[in-house]
Amino acid sequence: MRYFFAHPMLWCLALLLLGEEVDAEPVAFDRLTFHQAPKVLANGAVTVDWPRFLGPSDDATTSEKPLLVKWPAAGPTPVWEVRKGEGYASPGIAGDRLVLFHRLDGEEMAECLHAETGKRFWTYKYPVDYRDRYGYSDGPRASPVIDGGFVYLHGVTAWMTCLDLKTGKALWRRDLAKDFGIPQNFFGKGSNPLIADDLVIINVGGSEERCVVALDKKTGKTKWITKDAWGASYASPILATMHDRKTCLVFTGGESRPATGGLLVIDAATGEKLARFPWRADLYESANAVSPVYLGDNRVFLSECYGVGGVLLEFDQKFKPKALWKTPDFNIHWMAPIFHEGHLYGAAGRHQQGGEMVCVEVATGKEKWRERVAWKQNLGGREINLEAFRCSLLQADGHFLCLSEFGSLLWLDLSPKGFRILSKSQLFFSPQAWTLPALSRGLLYVMQNEFDRLNGLPARMICYDLRGK
């Protein structure tokens, strides 16, 4: 009997016979390369999950610390990497589990990996038929959302799937394109789902003005529909408590003739439309793609890059919006601007060569500074001029992590007086590094979405050790 319970295989068999579920051990697989184990977390380290696209508070900010701010010339240490398929999705992370969502060999695939080793717990996949008509990636744009032991996936063709995080078993699926009459639009479906209590809220932009829908997160059944003529954008909804009411802020506006869209303020529990503010360029080939930024005190910042730029709104007790200021030059393409100590920081500019870092004072709308974050870098024996371009920003441990759209990683200090580069490294050299990195337990996960022209490597997700002392 002593041998029976000491032997691990027999112990697992005993638990199964007793009706207890045994956690499967993650295993290595052919697309995984392990480099080295990360450092041990520092005593007193603050760590949090990264369960959705913009992090734990939907604002590209995390309380993680301490982090490694000064790294060697070669950059932060890689822990592991996995070759990935097409798509622009960030990973979702809860505990020691990371969910990667991408398209590989004609299938949309969710893989649950061990966050420190990259080994795989499970895989879930299904066929997908989508071709981007502008020649961009054919993979998913929306990131996995992890909530309460469940994983929610929103595919590029609007398949909505709920999986069990532990096992990868599909609990429910819905073809939202069929159910709500959703057109393909410019780049397929790209808005991330939002969890609000027992609901999954999605900007579907369907027929019959079915603009925003809420599904029961456990069953997938429709709970409410908010009707509006504005279509689905590529911005992700966020939650905000305004005037003691939990609201959902949805920045709509995708493909339509004429081009229409703007902010909808919706009661998150009932779907009641509380406010509507039009904010969209009048160009047909334009789309809203920047998530709203809630600044507190019933104020919301919006930005787009095709014409009208940025605006700060304030909502009164009846949810009537008032534009406090407008700034056409704070025209952000897709990154979520970061609100810090009374100022907004973001990468303005529609095109790569026009990308500039901008600081705007929220109280006045006054632009404090506008600069190209630029430097000289030796790549492959040649010194070239590099910039952050239309970068992504992530705020952590008192500084700002910056990933350029060509794979440069920088630590920045940003203040109303300007910027300062603390560390920089060229992780890879490839275009379309447009995905916001994820950070959890001192590990940074960076998506290389295209072929690396510097190292000759295919698309990858790379885990770096940023654990500080």
pLDDT tens, position by position, 56-97: 999 999 999 999 999 988 899 999 999 999 999 999 999 999
pLDDT of res. 22:
52
Q: Is residue 2 within 8 Å of residue 89, measured between CB atoms?
A: no
| Sheet arrangement for strand 460-465 | 32-34, 77-83, 460-465, 443-448, 438-440
pLDDT band at residue 6 under the 50/70/90 scheme: very low
pLDDT of residue 5 exceeding 60? no
Distance, in Å, from the CA atom of 378 to the CA atom of 405, rounded to the nearest integer, reads 18
pLDDT tens, position by position, 209-231: 999 999 999 999 999 999 999 99
Distance, in Å, from the CA atom of 385 to the CA atom of 241, rounded to the nearest integer, reads 44
- Other Cβ atoms less than 10 A from the Cβ of 372: the count is 15
Name the nearest CA neighbour of 350 among 306, 308, 380, 388. Answer: 306
Distance, in Å, from the CA atom of 343 to the CA atom of 352, rounded to the nearest integer, reads 24
Tokens 């997938």 locate to 220
pLDDT of residue 2 exceeding 50? no
pLDDT tens, position by position, 13-48: 444 444 444 578 999 999 999 999 999 999 999 999
Name 111's Cβ contacts closer than 8 Å, sequence gap at least 6: 99, 100, 120, 122, 123, 124
End-to-end CA distance of the chain: 46
pLDDT tens, position by position, 153-199: 999 999 999 999 999 999 999 999 999 999 989 999 999 999 999 99
If you average pLDDT over every residue of the chain, what do you get? 94
The 3-class SS string of 11-52 reads HHHHHHHCCCCCCCCCECCCCEEECCCCCCCCCCCECCCECC
pLDDT of res. 354:
79
Q: How many residues belong to the chain? A: 469
